Amino acid sequence: MSTKETIETRKRRIAWRAAHRGMKEMDLLLGGFVRERIGDMDAAALDELEALVALPDGTLYNWIAGREAVPAEYDTPLLAALMAVRYRPGDYARRQG
């Protein structure tokens, strides 16, 4: 298997996991964010994204909602970009159609 195929397989796995989390709010927010950005990510960016996707929904949601401080090891430009996303209800329906 080539490196490109390996990265593409990894991207599909991460994208699926980001959109199928168990907490609908996180499915929409994280799934949409990943779907929009994962295409341009290299292996290092995927490592960072995979670490975020592996976090429990409650932890990640509390950081995004500003209910808890983000620990230094997760305070990255990627998380900052995710936290800057503003979900609009119509976005999800348009992307699914």
Phi, psi of 8 (to 5 degrees): -65, -40
Q: Which class for 55: exposed (0-12), middle (13-18), buried (19 or more C-beta within 10 A)?
A: middle
| Identity of residue 61 | Y
The tens-digit pLDDT sequence of the chain (97 residues) is 456 668 999 999 999 999 999 899 899 899 999 999 999 999 999 999 999 999 999 999 999 989 999 999 999 999 999 999 876 655 555 555 4
Q: Round to whole Å and give the CA distance between 1 and 52.
A: 27
The whole-model pTM stands at 0.80
CATH number of 3-96: 1.10.150.250
Q: How far apart are CA 10 and CA 31, in angstroms?
A: 15
Please state, in angstroms and as integers, the Cα–Cα distance from residue 37 to each residue in 66, 67, 69, following that order. Answer: 23, 25, 24
